[in-house]
Structure 1
Amino acid sequence: MDLPNKMSCGLLSSTFLFHVTLHSLLFLSVQSGTTGNETDRLALLAFKYVITDPKGALTSWNNSLHFCQWQGVTCSRRHPQRVIALNLADQGLVGPMTPHITNLTFLNEIDLTNNQFYGQISPHMSRLSHLRYLNLSLNSYQGEIPANITAHCPKLTAMNLSYNNFVGGVPNKFHSLSRLAFLNLIHNNLTGKIPPTLGNLSSLIQLELTSNSLEGSIPYELGRLAALESLELGAINLSGMIPPSLYNLSSLVIFIVADNHLHGSLPPDLGLSLPNLQALLMDVNLFTGAIPLSLSNASRLSYLDFGTNSFSGLLPTNLGSLQDLYFLSFGHNQLGSRGKSNDMIFLTSLTNCTSLRVLQLAVNYLSGALPNSIANLSTQLTYLTLGSNQIFGSIPSGIENLSGLTAVGMEMNFLTGTIPVVLGKLNKLQVLTLYTNGLFGQIPSSLGNITHLLRLDLSENKLQGSIPSSLGNCGYLNKLTLRQNKLSGIIPTQILKLSSLSIYLDLSHNSFTGSLASEVGSLTQLGGLNISYNNLSGEIPSTLGNCLSLEYLYMDHNLFQGTIPLSLINLKGIQQLDLSHNNLSGKIPESMENFLFLEYLNLSFNDLVGEVPKEGIFRNTSGISVQGNNKLCGVGLVLFFTISSCFFATFYWIRHSRKNPSVTSSLDDRCLKLSYAELLRATNGFSLENLVGAGSYGAVYKGFVEHNEMVVAVKVLNLQRHGATKSFNAECEALRNIRHRNIIKILTSCSSIDYQGNDFKALVFEYMPNGSLEKWLHQSRDGQHPLMNLTLIQRLNVAIDVASALDYLHHHGQIPLVHCDLNPSNVLLDDDMGGHVGDFG
Structure 2
Amino acid sequence: MACRVFWSFFIHAIFLISFSETATSTPSRNETDRLALLAFKAEITDDPFQTLSSWNDSLHFCKWRGVTCNRKHHRVSLLNLTSLSIAGTLSPHIANLSFLTTIDLSNNRFHGRVPHELGHLFRLQRLHLSSNSFKGEIPAAISNCSKLFILNISSNNLVGEIPFELGSLSNLEHLYLYKNDLTGNIPPSLGNLSSLTRLSLRRNMLDGRIPDDLGRISKLRFLHIAENNLSGTIPSSIYNLSDIFFFSVTDNQLQGTLPSNLGLTLPNLESFYVSRNRFTGSIPVSLSNASFLEVLCFTNNDFTGGVPMDLGNLRSLNILTVGGNQMGTGKAEDLKFVDSLTNCSYLGEFGFQENRFAGPFPNSIVNFSTQLHWLAIGENHLSGSIPEGIENLVHLRTLYMNNNQLTGEIPVGIGKLGNLRRLGLWGNGFSGKIPSSIGNMTELIELYLQENHLEGSIPPSLGNCQKLYVLNISKNNLSGIIPKQVMSISSLSISLNLAQNSLTGFLPSEVGSLKNLGEIDVSENKLTGEIPHMLGDCKSLVILRLQSNFFNGTIPSSLSDLRGVEVLDLSRNNLTGQIPEFLGSFPVLKNLNLSFNDFDGKLQDRGVFGNASRVSVMGNHKLCGGIPQLQLPECVIQATKRRKMSFSLMVFIPTIAIAVCLIFSPCLCAVLYRRRKLRKKLSSTSFMGGQCTSISYSDLHKATNEFSPSNLIGVGSFGSVYIGTFASDNTTIAVKVLNLQRQGASKSFIAECEALRNVRHRNLVEVIASCSTIDFKGNEFKALVHEFMPNGSLEEWLHPKEEEGHHLRNLSLNQRLNIAIDVAYALDYLHNHQGTPIAHCDLKPTNILLDNDMVAHVGDFGLAKILFETTNNSSRTDISSIAIKGSIGYVAPEYGMGGDVSTFGDVYSYGILLLELFTGRRPTEDMFKNGLSLREFAKMAFPDRVMQIADPIMLEESSRGDISNNVEGDRQRLLECFASVVRVGIGCSKETPKERMQMKEVVAEMLVIRDKFLGVGIYKER
TM-score, structure 1 as length reference = 0.76
Compared CA separation, residues 106 and 478, structure 1 to 2 (3 A): same
What does 1:725-740 correspond to in 2, within 5 Å? 725=811, 729=815, 732-736=818-822, 738-739=824-825
Q: Residue 655 of structure 1 corresponds to which residue in structure 2?
A: none
Provide the C-alpha distance between the structure 1 equivalents of 2:382 and 2:229, rounded to a whole number of angstroms.
Answer: 35
Compared CA separation, residues 226 and 380, structure 1 to 2 (3 A): same
Of the three residues 58, 62, 81, the one matched with 1:64 is: 58
* In the alignment, structure 1 residue 144 sits paired with structure 2 residue 137: yes
Q: Shift of the alpha carbon at 1:803?
A: 2.0
Stretch of structure 1 that moved more, 721-730 or 455-464:
721-730
* In the alignment, structure 1 residue 431 sits paired with structure 2 residue 422: yes
Q: Shift of the alpha carbon at 1:117?
A: 0.7
Q: Which amino acid aligns with 2:54?
A: S
* In the alignment, structure 1 residue 533 sits paired with structure 2 residue 619: no
Q: Residue 755 of structure 1 corresponds to which residue in structure 2?
A: none
* In the alignment, structure 1 residue 803 sits paired with structure 2 residue 905: yes
Q: Shift of the alpha carbon at 1:34?
A: 4.6
Q: Which amino acid aligns with 1:77?
A: R
- Bigger radius of gyration, 1 or 2? 2
* In the alignment, structure 1 residue 84 sits paired with structure 2 residue 73: no
Compared CA separation, residues 483 and 209, structure 1 to 2 (3 A): same
What does 1:331-370 correspond to in 2, within 5 Å? 331-338=323-330, 340-370=331-361
* In the alignment, structure 1 residue 206 sits paired with structure 2 residue 308: no
Q: Residue 688 of structure 2 corresponds to which residue in structure 1?
A: none
Q: Shift of the alpha carbon at 1:802?
A: 5.3
Secondary structure of 1:310's counterpart equals: coil
Q: Residue 10 of structure 1 corresponds to which residue in structure 2?
A: none
Stretch of structure 1 that moved more, 92-101 or 128-137:
92-101
Q: Residue 146 of structure 2 corresponds to which residue in structure 1?
A: 154
Q: Shift of the alpha carbon at 1:329?
A: 0.7
Provide the C-alpha distance between the structure 2 equivalents of 1:345 and 1:803, rounded to a whole number of angstroms.
Answer: 64
Compared CA separation, residues 166 and 626, structure 1 to 2 (3 A): same
Decide whether the 8 Å contact of 1:342 with 1:369 is kept in 2. Answer: no
1:736-779 Cα offsets, whole Å, 9 max, x none, are 36249999xxxxxxxxxxxxxxxxxxxxxxxxxxxxxxxxxxxx
Compared CA separation, residues 571 and 391, structure 1 to 2 (3 A): same
Secondary structure of 2:486's counterpart equals: helix
Provide the C-alpha distance between the structure 1 equivalents of 2:486 and 2:585, rounded to a whole number of angstroms.
Answer: 31
Q: Shift of the alpha carbon at 1:729?
A: 3.8
Secondary structure of 1:736's counterpart equals: helix
Q: Which amino acid aligns with 1:79?
A: H
* In the alignment, structure 1 residue 473 sits paired with structure 2 residue 464: yes
Q: Residue 461 of structure 1 corresponds to which residue in structure 2?
A: 452
* In the alignment, structure 1 residue 583 sits paired with structure 2 residue 685: no
1:193-232 Cα offsets, whole Å, 9 max, x none, are 1111111111111111111111101101111010000111
Provide the C-alpha distance between the structure 1 equivalents of 2:216 and 2:988, rounded to a whole number of angstroms.
Answer: 43
* In the alignment, structure 1 residue 620 sits paired with structure 2 residue 614: no
* In the alignment, structure 1 residue 493 sits paired with structure 2 residue 484: yes
Q: Residue 271 of structure 2 corresponds to which residue in structure 1?
A: 279
Q: Residue 986 of structure 2 corresponds to which residue in structure 1?
A: 828
Q: Shift of the alpha carbon at 1:500?
A: 0.7
Compared CA separation, residues 367 and 796, structure 1 to 2 (3 A): farther
* In the alignment, structure 1 residue 173 sits paired with structure 2 residue 153: no
Provide the C-alpha distance between the structure 1 equivalents of 2:260 and 2:911, rounded to a whole number of angstroms.
Answer: 61
1:332-360 Cα offsets, whole Å, 9 max, x none, are 0011112x333222211100100010001
Q: Residue 104 of structure 1 corresponds to which residue in structure 2?
A: 97
Decide whether the 8 Å contact of 1:370 with 1:392 is kept in 2. Answer: yes
Stretch of structure 1 that moved more, 462-471 or 95-104:
95-104
Compared CA separation, residues 582 and 595, structure 1 to 2 (3 A): same
1:765-824 Cα offsets, whole Å, 9 max, x none, are xxxxxxxxxxxxxxxxxxxxxxxxxxx9xx999x989525158899xxxxxxxx974842
Q: Residue 411 of structure 1 corresponds to which residue in structure 2?
A: 402
Q: Shift of the alpha carbon at 1:58?
A: 2.2
Decide whether the 8 Å contact of 2:612 with 2:629 is kept in 1. Answer: no
Provide the C-alpha distance between the structure 1 equivalents of 2:898 and 2:193, rounded to a whole number of angstroms.
Answer: 49
Decide whether the 8 Å contact of 1:742 with 1:801 is kept in 2. Answer: no
Q: Residue 590 of structure 2 corresponds to which residue in structure 1?
A: 599
Of the three residues 51, 55, 75, the one matched with 2:49 is: 55
Provide the C-alpha distance between the structure 1 equivalents of 2:97 and 2:281, rounded to a whole number of angstroms.
Answer: 56
Decide whether the 8 Å contact of 1:740 with 1:805 is kept in 2. Answer: no
Compared CA separation, residues 627 and 46, structure 1 to 2 (3 A): same
Provide the C-alpha distance between the structure 2 equivalents of 1:517 and 1:529, rounded to a whole number of angstroms.
Answer: 13
Stretch of structure 1 that moved more, 629-638 or 317-326:
629-638
Compared CA separation, residues 178 and 808, structure 1 to 2 (3 A): closer
Q: Residue 546 of structure 2 corresponds to which residue in structure 1?
A: 555
Decide whether the 8 Å contact of 1:607 with 1:629 is kept in 2. Answer: yes
* In the alignment, structure 1 residue 196 sits paired with structure 2 residue 282: no
Q: Residue 126 of structure 1 corresponds to which residue in structure 2?
A: 119
Q: Residue 717 of structure 1 corresponds to which residue in structure 2?
A: none
Provide the C-alpha distance between the structure 1 equivalents of 2:115 and 2:596, rounded to a whole number of angstroms.
Answer: 74
Provide the C-alpha distance between the structure 2 equivalents of 1:731 and 1:723, rounded to a whole number of angstroms.
Answer: 17
Of the three residues 94, 116, 120, the one matched with 2:87 is: 94
Provide the C-alpha distance between the structure 2 equivalents of 1:180 and 1:617, rounded to a whole number of angstroms.
Answer: 68
1:700-727 Cα offsets, whole Å, 9 max, x none, are xxxxxxxxxxxxxxxxxxxxx9654378
Q: Residue 663 of structure 1 corresponds to which residue in structure 2?
A: none
* In the alignment, structure 1 residue 75 sits paired with structure 2 residue 49: no
Q: Residue 394 of structure 1 corresponds to which residue in structure 2?
A: 385
Higher percent of residues as helix: 2
Q: Shift of the alpha carbon at 1:397?
A: 0.9
Provide the C-alpha distance between the structure 2 equivalents of 1:618 and 1:804, rounded to a whole number of angstroms.
Answer: 31
Provide the C-alpha distance between the structure 2 equivalents of 1:391 and 1:553, rounded to a whole number of angstroms.
Answer: 35
Q: Shift of the alpha carbon at 1:830?
A: 9.4
1:503-523 Cα offsets, whole Å, 9 max, x none, are 110000000000011100100
Provide the C-alpha distance between the structure 2 equivalents of 1:800 and 1:182, rounded to a whole number of angstroms.
Answer: 54
Q: Residue 763 of structure 2 corresponds to which residue in structure 1?
A: none
Q: Shift of the alpha carbon at 1:734?
A: 3.6
Provide the C-alpha distance between the structure 1 equivalents of 2:400 and 2:198, rounded to a whole number of angstroms.
Answer: 37
1:398-447 Cα offsets, whole Å, 9 max, x none, are 11111111111000000000000000111111111100101100000011
Q: Residue 266 of structure 1 corresponds to which residue in structure 2?
A: 258
Decide whether the 8 Å contact of 2:98 with 2:122 is kept in 1. Answer: yes
Of the three residues 33, 39, 42, the one matched with 1:46 is: 39
Secondary structure of 1:475's counterpart equals: coil
Stretch of structure 1 that moved more, 49-58 or 451-460:
49-58
Decide whether the 8 Å contact of 2:911 with 2:989 is kept in 1. Answer: no
Provide the C-alpha distance between the structure 1 equivalents of 2:626 and 2:102, rounded to a whole number of angstroms.
Answer: 81
Structure 1 residue ranges (4+ consecutive) displaced by more than 6 angstroms after TM superposition: 740-743, 807-810, 830-833, 837-840
Decide whether the 8 Å contact of 1:333 with 1:363 is kept in 2. Answer: yes
1:42-100 Cα offsets, whole Å, 9 max, x none, are 222222222201122223223332221222111111122x1111111111111111222
Compared CA separation, residues 288 and 641, structure 1 to 2 (3 A): farther
Q: Shift of the alpha carbon at 1:379?
A: 0.5
What does 1:289-304 correspond to in 2, within 5 Å? 289-304=281-296
Q: What count of residue pairs does the alignment treat as equivalent?
A: 672
RMSD, aligned α-carbons: 2.9
Compared CA separation, residues 325 and 830, structure 1 to 2 (3 A): farther
Provide the C-alpha distance between the structure 2 equivalents of 1:208 and 1:835, rounded to a whole number of angstroms.
Answer: 37
Q: Shift of the alpha carbon at 1:395?
A: 0.5
Compared CA separation, residues 722 and 143, structure 1 to 2 (3 A): farther
1:230-279 Cα offsets, whole Å, 9 max, x none, are 11111110110111111111111111110011111111101001110111
1:286-319 Cα offsets, whole Å, 9 max, x none, are 0011111001011111011000000001111100
Provide the C-alpha distance between the structure 2 equivalents of 1:62 and 1:390, rounded to a whole number of angstroms.
Answer: 73
1:159-198 Cα offsets, whole Å, 9 max, x none, are 0111101011000101110101110100111111111111
